[in-house]
Amino acid sequence: MPHRDHPINHCHDKLCDGILDSTRGFRSTFDPNILKFDSRLLFAFQAASPGSRSFDVRLIKIIAISVHQIAVILFILNEGLHKNDGVIEWAPPKSDKIWWAHCPNGPEPTMFFHHWYLSHDRYPNGVADMVGYWAESRILGGVVLFDRRQPIPESDVDQDAVSIHPDRENVTYRICRLTSEKRLQLLKFLTAEVPDHTPLPILPDEKNDYRINPEESPEETGIYRDIWDRSELREDAYDQRLRDVWNKLDYLTHSGKGNAADRALERRNRIFQGRFDGEP
């Protein structure tokens, strides 16, 4: 949510004039052939049998990438009606130490972002990719991620699993694997000629019991779409895993919370040790 004093809270309570017609115009002329996909993804999708788990996971991946790319295209068109009005650049006074502690570099370059996908300096499309991740979260329910680990006997690796990383109030901030029920609902919606209802956005609940922490790097967890997508937790940033209070929204069990806190303490100790070793 924006800061309580942010001007967006007072100057934008309805759609801007003409924006709906502009959006409909974009949709009527949009050519899906301009979307780009990795050839390996397309070949694997074409080789998979319709209805197989391999086919399903690649269909979901194509849809997620499409949502992301369309948002990128719309952002690059730069047809927003609020230019140079100071809304995006607004920041609270320096006296608001809590805000500046969380945002030491000032406001993000766009208001459309997911809090864990901010690394526009390394994204192929820069700030536009921030908007792409935000669009996935708002439309699909979260940024769509996959299990990239190599299968190991008797492990929890599932290369056909799909996970989402939400960014909403009253929804866990952790990355959650889709349940079989939610996955089936999504696939029925995507493959129906005329869907009778939409399951979107897909929001995790207590049934999503396979979760990982975004504070832990993609290299550690093996859960990502592109290795560079999720932003790394800053060394000086607050680590939510160290909260004293157990929150069932994020951790279904006390042991899950305790294990996450242990990993956070290990990370903090590594940071302190690194600083100590670097001292002259």
Kindly report the pTM of this predicted structure: 0.92
Distance of CA 20 to the CA centre of its chain: 26
Residue 177 class from Cβ within 10 Å (0-12 exposed, 13-18 middle, 19+ buried)? buried
d(CA 230, CA 3): 23
Instruction: Enter the tokens of residue 42.
Output: 């397309």
pLDDT at 79: 61
> pLDDT tens string for the chain (280 positions)?
677 888 787 777 777 778 888 889 999 999 999 999 999 999 999 999 999 999 999 999 999 999 999 999 999 987 665 666 677 788 888 999 888 888 888 889 998 999 999 999 999 999 999 999 999 999 999 999 999 999 888 888 999 999 999 999 999 999 999 999 999 999 999 999 998 899 999 999 999 999 999 999 999 999 999 999 999 999 989 999 999 999 999 999 999 999 999 999 999 999 988 777 766 5
- What are the backbone dihedrals phi and psi of residue 262, each rounded to the nearest 5 degrees, phi first? -60, -40
Torsion sign across C-alpha atoms 84, 85, 86, 87: negative
d(CA 231, CA 132): 14
d(CA 149, CA 24): 41
DSSP assignment, residue 95? T
Q: Assign residue 64 a region (left: φ > 0; alpha: ψ between -120 and 50; beta: otherwise).
A: alpha
Instruction: Enter the tokens of residue 235.
Output: 């060394």
**If we measure between CA atoms, which residue out of 149, 156, 151, 164 comes closest to residue 60?**
164
Instruction: Enter the tokens of residue 69.
Output: 């790319």
Instruction: Enter the tokens of residue 262.
Output: 């242990």
d(CA 118, CA 133): 9
Please report the DSSP string for 133-184 in residue order.
HHHHHHHHSSEEEEE-SPP-TTS---TT-EEEE---TTS-SSEEEPPHHHHH
Element (H, E) at 212: strand 211-212
Contacts of 197 (CB under 8 A, 6+ apart): 189
To the nearest 10°, report the CA torsion of 247, 251, 254, 256.
-150
**If we measure between CA atoms, which residue out of 54, 267, 234, 250 comes closest to residue 165?**
250
